[in-house]
Chain A
């Protein structure tokens, strides 16, 4: 992570940005392609209640790979991490608060 940052305090005219090796990009691409086929294959199996969580898990892993490697977050500044994590935090608030209502409406009232 540190190799992408210009030295602190120094006025660097030519910042050294991290250049990801082609092999890394190809590995991530292969993982994404396999993940897609796996999503499709898992959907043809009857896994009971586990079908949806498995599809979600694969999608989250694929998205994480894209964010970390294709979008260079792995080698980004900490500020980028904070901004990104804040987005998912608010997305979490949106989902948790809404489902705390909708998913509990059918619960018995004591």
Chain B
């Protein structure tokens, strides 16, 4: 092993970002991405557990779930879905630019990803504010009632729906905030010129996280904004 490393060392001096416990940058890259995937597996089960509880209650209270989804701003949620998809595209292109030694492209695409990610959080804040003003925040501040008094019995279950709405979108937004923070760090490193065709694992791992958060929203949008109405006989 040592003579091999020496042999290679003649052509390429040891890379400054190659950790000593890895043989080469390729092995380090595989370990980094695999580690991220292992983390994302725990994330899949983390969100999966909350979504499971969501579905149990949605099957129990379909009318309240449809009524709760009706209180959502579908245009804002749909726009945010598209904004996140665009940010995923720019994130993928940032990784691609790094693979091709394109520092300017990487920096530009990371900045665009940051802008779209921040735009998502801005639209989300606007929605949160509207919900708060309408009394759709569960707990002591809750003062929302359905317009039709005949279905006022659904109110506690709509409140339960909103617990899932705030919980799921809140967890997602927390992931977005962390993602924006990580993007700033990756952007600073890209700006400094750390990344190139042989060393871009941090950009790749950043992308894996970002795309995962996008996937969560791909499910949250139909689950929280677009619930079909079932027959009126399902009240309760």
Please report A residues at the B interface, Cβ cutoff 8 Å.
Answer: 6, 11-15, 17, 19-20, 22, 25-26, 29, 32-33, 36, 39-40, 43, 46-47, 51-52, 55-56, 58-59, 62-63, 66-67, 69-72, 76-77, 79-80, 83-84, 86-88, 90-91, 94-95, 98-99, 102-103
A36 touches B221 (CB 8 A): yes
Q: Enumerate chain A residues within 8 angstroms of B40, measured Cβ to Cβ.
A: 87
Contact B218 A84 (CB under 8 A): no
For residue B119, CB closer than 8 A to chain A, the reply is no
A-B contact pairs, 11 of them (CB 8 A): A15-B25, A29-B88, A33-B82, A36-B78, A43-B222, A63-B215, A70-B214, A77-B30, A87-B44, A95-B48, A95-B52
Instruction: Write the residues of chain B forming the contact surface with A, with a CB cutoff of 8 angstroms.
Output: 4, 8, 11-12, 23-26, 29-30, 33-34, 37-38, 40-41, 44-45, 48-49, 52, 55-56, 59, 74, 78, 81-82, 85-86, 88-89, 91-93, 95-96, 99-100, 197-198, 204, 207-208, 211-212, 214-215, 218-219, 221-222, 226, 228
Q: How far is the CB of A49 from chain B (nearest CB, A)?
A: 9
Residues of A within 8 A of B197 (CB): 14, 17
Of the candidates B29, B37, B59, B81, the one whose C-beta lies within 8 Å of that of A36 is B81
Main secondary structure of the interface of B (DSSP, over half): helix
Whether A87 contacts B222 by the Cβ 8 Å rule is no
Which listed residue, B29, B82, B100, touches A15 by the CB 8 Å rule? Answer: B29
Starting from the known contacts A36-B81, A80-B34, 11 additional A-B residue pairs (CB-CB under 8 Å) come to A12-B24, A17-B197, A20-B96, A32-B218, A36-B221, A47-B228, A70-B89, A70-B207, A94-B45, A98-B52, A99-B56
